Amino acid sequence: MKYILELRNFNAQQATDPMEFWHNRRSTYTKLAPVAEDTLTAPASQAFVERIFSVCGMLTAGRRNRTEKSLETRVFLKINRDFV
């Protein structure tokens, strides 16, 4: 209820960055602020998730059935090969 009352009195010109808005209220809304920040930082598309599923399909298609590393490790290494 406190959040709704604050929104009614909130001037939209005061804050332009939603992340800053929630960061400033993290101590007030200890449970709501992390959820809002996670929602705001979610990717705009699901292309990354689709890419991961594609890589998982390639790595489990029977061509690599003798590897000893877990699928999670192999996917991580494949996706981050430029950084590793």
pLDDT tens-place string over residues 1-29: 777 887 777 766 666 788 888 888 889 88
Residues 54 and 74 in one domain: yes
Is 84 domain-assigned? no
pLDDT recorded at residue 63:
62
Q: Where residue 78 falls among pLDDT bands split at 50, 70, 90? A: confident
pLDDT of 62 higher than 60: yes
The sign of the torsion formed by the CA atoms of 43, 45, 51, 53 equals positive
Provide the domain limits for residue 52: 47-79
**Cα angle, residue 80 at apex, residues 62 and 68 outer, rounded to 5°:** 40
Is 19 domain-assigned? yes
Residues 36 and 66 in one domain: no
Residues 35 and 55 in one domain: no
Torsion-angle region of residue 62: left (phi > 0), alpha (psi -120 to 50) or beta?
left
pLDDT recorded at residue 64:
57
pLDDT of 69 higher than 80: no
Across the range 43-60, mean pLDDT stands at: 78
pTM score:
0.43
C-alpha span between 15 and 76 (Å, rounded): 38
Is 53 domain-assigned? yes
How many domains, in total, are found in the chain? 2
Is 58 domain-assigned? yes
Is 31 domain-assigned? yes
Residues 7 and 34 in one domain: yes
